[in-house]
C-alpha cells in the first residue's frame, strides 16, 4: 500500500534533496509567483492535500499563507508537524486521504495544492476524477488547484522494463546516504523500490529497501480533461515555472 511506502520512507525523506531547507524556499517562491499571477494578491488560505513532510506547506507558511496540510501517510505527517513546530509555524497537519478532502475538512480554501507527482498514485482515471471533484468542492469561487506531475509523454519506456533511477548522495556527519530507485514497468504502470544505503565510514553500510510505491503513467492532456470534467473552467499547464510541470485549474 502506498501509505506503507511513505511511512517507511519518511525518516529518509529530507535526504532525497540536496538541500531540503533551500528547496522549501525555492519551491514556495515559484508557487507564490504562480498563485499571484493567476489568482491575485487576495489569496490567503491553502490546503496542501498531499503535503508529505511539508516541503511546500512550510515554505508557503513562511511566506504568510494560512496553510492546512494533509497526507495519507501518518509517518510523513508526524515529521511535518515536527518541522513546522521547530519553525514556530501554525500549520494544521492531519492524516487524510486526498479522496476524502471535502468529506474530512468540510471547508473551502482559496488554493488546493498537490505536488511531487502525487496524483499519479491514483491508479485510474475514475479515481483521479473523483479526487478532482473533491478538490473542486474544497475550493472557493475564484480560487483554484495546482498540481505538479511528471510528463509521462516524455518518458520513454518499454513493457516489463526495469530502470535504475538515481536520487541523491547526501553527506552526513557520519558518512553519506545514497538513495536510488528501481522502476519496474508494466503497461501504463510502474512499481518503485527505493534503496537507501547508509554508508557509515568505517562501519558496515546499512541497506534499507522500501517497497510499495506505484504510479499510473497518466498524461498531462488527460489530467487537463479530467479537471474540466470535474467543473474547473480554465486549465493551464506551465512547464517552466516549477521543478515539474505545473497544472493550474481555475474555479
- Over residues 77-90, the pLDDT tens digits come to 999 999 999 999 99
Distance CA 100, CA 151 (A): 26
What pLDDT does residue 30 have? Answer: 97
Q: How confident is the model at residue 158 (pLDDT cuts 50, 70, 90)?
A: confident
CATH of the domain at 72: 3.40.50.150
Domain residue limits at 223: 2-152+218-250
- Are 104 and 183 members of one domain? no
Q: Does residue 212 share a domain with residue 197?
A: yes
Q: What is the dihedral of CA 109, 16, 27, 63, to 10 degrees?
A: 70
Residue 32: CB atoms within 10 A of its CB come to: 16
The model's pTM: 0.94
pLDDT in tens, 45-80: 999 999 999 999 999 999 999 999 999 999 999 999
- Residue 180 predicted with pLDDT over 80: yes
Domain count, the chain: 2
**Domain check: are 52 and 133 in the same one?**
yes
- 138 and 205: one domain? no
Same domain, 73 and 176: no
Whether 92 and 44 map to the same domain: the answer is yes
Cell of 67: 496553510
Q: Do 105 and 192 reside in the same domain of the chain?
A: no
168 and 57 in a common domain: no
How many CA atoms, within 13 angstroms, populate the side-chain half-sphere of residue 236?
13
The pLDDT, as a whole number, for residue 1 is 75
Question: Is residue 133 located within the same domain as residue 180?
Answer: no
Based on the domain organization, do 177 and 207 belong to the same domain?
yes
Query: Residue 61 and residue 59: Cα distance in Å, rounded?
Result: 5
Amino acid at each position: 500500500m502506498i501509505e506503507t511506502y511513505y511511512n517507511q520512507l519518511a525518516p529518509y525523506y529530507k535526504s532525497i534533496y540536496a538541500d531540503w531547507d533551500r528547496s522549501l524556499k525555492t519551491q514556495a517562491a515559484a508557487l507564490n509567483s504562480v498563485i499571484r499571477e493567476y489568482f491575485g494578491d487576495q489569496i490567503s488560505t491553502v490546503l496542501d492535500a498531499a503535503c508529505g513532510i511539508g516541503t511546500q506547506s512550510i515554505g508557503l507558511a513562511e511566506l504568510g499563507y494560512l496553510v492546512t496540510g494533509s497526507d495519507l501517510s501518518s509517518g510523513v505527517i508526524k515529521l511535518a508537524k515536527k518541522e513546522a513546530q521547530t519553525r514556530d509555524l501554525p500549520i494544521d497537519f492531519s492524516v487524510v486521504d486526498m479522496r476524502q478532502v471535502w468529506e474530512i475538512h468540510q471547508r473551502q480554501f482559496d488554493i488546493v495544492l498537490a505536488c511531487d507527482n502525487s496524483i499519479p498514485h491514483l491508479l485510474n482515471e475514475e479515481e483521479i476524477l473523483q479526487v478532482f471533484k473533491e478538490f473542486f468542492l474544497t475550493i472557493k469561487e475564484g480560487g483554484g488547484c495546482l498540481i505538479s506531475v511528471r510528463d509521462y509523454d516524455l518518458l520513454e519506456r518499454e513493457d516489463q522494463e526495469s530502470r535504475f533511477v538515481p536520487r541523491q548522495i547526501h553527506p552526513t556527519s557520519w558518512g553519506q546516504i545514497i538513495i536510488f530507485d528501481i522502476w519496474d514497468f508494466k503497461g501504463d504502470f510502474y512499481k518503485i523500490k527505493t534503496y537507501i544505503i547508509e554508508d557509515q565510514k568505517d562501519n558496515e553500510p546499512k541497506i534499507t529497501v522500501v517497497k510499495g510505491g506505484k504510479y499510473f503513467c497518466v498524461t498531462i492532456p488527460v489530467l487537463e480533461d479530467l479537471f474540466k470534467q470535474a467543473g474547473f473552467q480554465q486549465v493551464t499547464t506551465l512547464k517552466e515555472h516549477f521543478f515539474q510541470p505545473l497544472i493550474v485549474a481555475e474555479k
